[in-house]
Amino acid sequence: MDWVEVGKGIPSKAFHKQVASSVLAVLITTAIFATAAYSSNTNFVFNGFNGAGLLLNGGGAIEPNGLLRLTNFTRNEVGHAFYPTNFRFINSSSGEPFSFSTSFVFAIVPQYSDISSQGIAFAITPSTNFASALPSQHLGLFNLTNNGDPRNHIVAVELDTIQNKEFYDINDNHVGIDVNGLRSTASAPASFFSDSQFKNLSLISGEPMRVWVEYDGKSTVFNVTLAPLSVPKPEQPLLSSKINLSSIFLDAMYVGFASSTGTAAGSHYILGWSFSLNGKEEEEISLPLLPSLPPITEDENGNGEAKKATKLLNILLPIAIALLLLPFAAFVIALLIKNKRKYAEVVEDWETEYGPHRFSYRDIYRSTRGFSDDNVLGHGGFGEVYKGLLTKSKLEIAVKRIAHDSRQGMKEFVAEIASIGRLRHRNLVQLLGYCRRRGELILVYDFMPNGSLDRYIFGRPEESLDWTQRFKIIRGIAAGLLYLHEEWEQVVLHRDIKASNVLLDARFEGKLGDFGLAKLYERGTNLHTTKVVGTLGYLAPELSRTGKSTPCSDVFGFGAFLLEVACGKRPIELKTSGIDMILVDWVVEFLKKGEILETRDRKLGGNFSPEEVEMVLRLGLMCSHPVPAERPSMRQVVQYLDGEVVLPELSMEQLYAFDSSSRRYRLVAGDDMSCNSGTVPTLPSSSSSSSSK
């Protein structure tokens, strides 16, 4: 029962034969998922599952149209589909479980219209390892020995189509709430409330239906509601029961689905899924965007003549088609050989571990129209970037081609790409995956329709952004960088923060991109000396001596970014006299004169907040301090930008460190490679400059 992470998954119920196999959590290399690692997202919605990255095993699969198939007309089958990261379900301060809600659209299609094929369960579990779970009545969640064991810590909502007397099932068409076992805490016949009464539903009708599951952590009320897809959410739930889950939930729990078949086969599908934790507003499933169920063929329990005709057709039709296609066989084979050579790519045995993050070269080639010059978006770090449109999902993507040595360090680099692909933050450009072919590596990102920020900072005045837009982008990039440094399970160093690496989506939200230079290292480990990489003007001075990138060197690059966004100038600009102008030195000189606002971008006009502009300029200087220990951490930076903490000032002694003549101070004081985690140094007030504006 091998796990794969692509978007395919499924569960099942009964057959006393243990399904043994190894659990392979793709994209989770080594033991990264310790108890302390949780998903940073507290809600999600999938309208179809292409690109969802679910953890799947058993008979699970994602159909080309995005439909999640849990079983596939196979007897005694089991499968699972889980969201790839776990969530914190317990409030650490109060010990109470968090409230949560989920909604999903499902369909159960039996092989024979009047014979049930077990069911589906939405499950909240401490692990995604169900290698010992049984199919049939055990729903792929339990087995003969652990059913009912309080150590399971499992909560499930079952959609059961078989009556099992051993579990005290009320009938063969019911919905139940299960805690640690298959004997339901509460259950009811499948039905929905309408016109002041409950109306019956058949779970094996083959028609899509929708389920709402809601739990209030304060009142401990657990509600389950069922309805046909065409009916809005009923006012009254099908099940409502008080269940205290504080002793059931562990700190970290996974959410997903389990499904199984027994002696009768069937296909179980999930069309869409939304989830929200801790009171966060649940995103609504968009019904028009849901994938369609496959057409239902004539079942095998028809009457005499129809059954015979169907069998005869099933025999003769393939023969007729084969005879008709025979003259074209040679042509088709030749075409396939030609296409295989055209789309040949480099695939090694170790890459099966990263399968879910690998795109086929054929899909990438077609999405970019053969890497057409008309699709070129620009030149990023290490290679050209193309716009693409994936044919099946209609997803717009950005494709970067990078030349590489096909052997040297590639396994480690692909592992890093897979890890980075699991980063989830609204202010980071999502890395979707990769592809390798001959002498190049291809990276696939979300497409950002408004391009890079430098176009609006250094481009034509009519394309410039106002201060409100710039400040919003600055805060967003700060939040994204804080996530990389402190809020993910590993520390991620970007190492090339600048306006050209900040991309803008359709709403001009800033997203930090180009992780080609990112360097991961485990928290608490020693930093390794690496090749100094980045862009001149954004590189921290200590890198030239130590070659060691740190969160502090990222903060220095962020300081340069703050100054270029506020001033509309690059960190190093060539004057007409042929002498380089160093932006940070230029701003320091105006600060010393009490006129720091004079350094603002003149394209802002008079429509800006003097307090915010001055704060950003001063913060840019603090982040650009030549001594690493004098720079704030990204957490402090976010607090300053959000107004949670008042920005301190720098003293004249600290300003002296910026002077190009003070090399001695920089080299001696710069040996401490850690950012300031406490009070930030002080900078002289320029209230006179503020009041004069």
Cα–Cα nearest to 494, from 431, 578, 582? 431
Give 348-355 contacts, CB < 8 A, sequence gap 24+.
348/411, 350/411, 351/414, 351/436, 353/24, 353/26, 353/29, 354/26, 354/27, 354/414, 354/415, 354/417, 354/418, 355/4, 355/5, 355/6, 355/26
Q: Is 580 a catalytic residue?
A: no
For residue 313, what are its two tokens? 């057709």
Contact 368, 391 (CB under 8 A): no
Catalytic entry in 160, 178, 446, 496: 496
User: In angstroms, rounded to a whole number, what is the distance separating the alpha carbons of residues 540 and 629?
Assistant: 12
User: In angstroms, rounded to a whole number, what is the distance separating the alpha carbons of residues 32 and 37?
Assistant: 8
Was 400 annotated as part of a binding site? yes
For residue 379, what are its two tokens? 């030149």
- Residues 461-490 as b/e (b if ≥16 CB within 10 A, e otherwise) read eeebbebebbbebbbbbbbbbbbbbeebbb
Start-end of H helices in 521-633: 543-546, 551-567, 583-592, 610-623
Strands (E), 163-262: 174-179, 186-189, 191-194, 197-200, 209-215, 221-228, 239-242, 252-260
User: In angstroms, rounded to a whole number, what is the distance separating the alpha carbons of residues 451 and 501?
Assistant: 10
- Give the other-Cβ count within 10 Å of 604's Cβ: 16
Please name the residue that has the structure tokens 């007409």: 576
- Give the other-Cβ count within 10 Å of 688's Cβ: 11
Distance of alpha carbon 539 from the chain centroid: 29
User: In angstroms, rounded to a whole number, what is the distance separating the alpha carbons of residues 488 and 618?
Assistant: 28
Contact 64, 51 (CB under 8 A): no
For CA atoms 652, 655, 657, 660, give the dihedral sign. Answer: negative
Type of residue numbered 270: I
Contact 495, 518 (CB under 8 A): yes
User: In angstroms, rounded to a whole number, what is the distance separating the alpha carbons of residues 30 and 522?
Assistant: 12
SS3 content of the chain, % helix, strand, coil (to 5): 30, 25, 50
Cα–Cα nearest to 77, from 169, 127, 139? 139
Contact 377, 385 (CB under 8 A): yes
Contact 570, 564 (CB under 8 A): yes
User: In angstroms, rounded to a whole number, what is the distance separating the alpha carbons of residues 217 and 278?
Assistant: 9
User: In angstroms, rounded to a whole number, what is the distance separating the alpha carbons of residues 162 and 138?
Assistant: 11
* Opening angle at CA 639, ends 636 and 642, nearest 5: 150
User: In angstroms, rounded to a whole number, what is the distance separating the alpha carbons of residues 665 and 670?
Assistant: 8
Cα–Cα nearest to 295, from 63, 630, 608? 63
Residues with Cβ within 8 Å of 446's Cβ and at least 6 positions away in sequence, in order, are 397, 398, 429, 430, 432
User: In angstroms, rounded to a whole number, what is the distance separating the alpha carbons of residues 633 and 518?
Assistant: 18
User: In angstroms, rounded to a whole number, what is the distance separating the alpha carbons of residues 292 and 289?
Assistant: 9
Nearest-Å Rg of the Cα atoms of the chain is 29
- Binding residues are 400
Residues that are catalytic:
496
- Binding residues for ATP are 400
